[in-house]
Amino acid sequence: MADEPDSIVLAILRRIDQRTERMAEDLHDLKTRVTSVAGVNRRLDRLETRVDRIEKRLELTDVTH
Nearest to 31 by CA among 21, 23, 42, 43: 23
Domain membership flag for residue 42? yes
Residue 18 lies in a domain: no
Position 61 confidence tier, pLDDT thresholds 50, 70, 90: confident
Sign of CA dihedral 33, 34, 39, 41: positive
In a domain, 3, yes or no: no
| 23, part of any domain | no
Q: Domains in the chain: how many in total?
A: 1
Report the pLDDT value the prediction gives residue 1, as an integer from 0 to 100.
47
Inform me whether the pLDDT recorded for 2 exceeds 60: no
If phi > 0 it is left, if psi is from -120 to 50 it is alpha, else beta; for residue 14 that is alpha
CA terminus-to-terminus distance, the chain: 81
Taking only the tens place, the pLDDT of each residue in 4-57 is 667 999 999 999 999 999 999 999 999 999 999 999 999 999 999 999 999 999
Host domain of residue 53: 32-60
Please tell me the distance from the alpha carbon of residue 36 to that of residue 14, in angstroms, as a whole number.
33
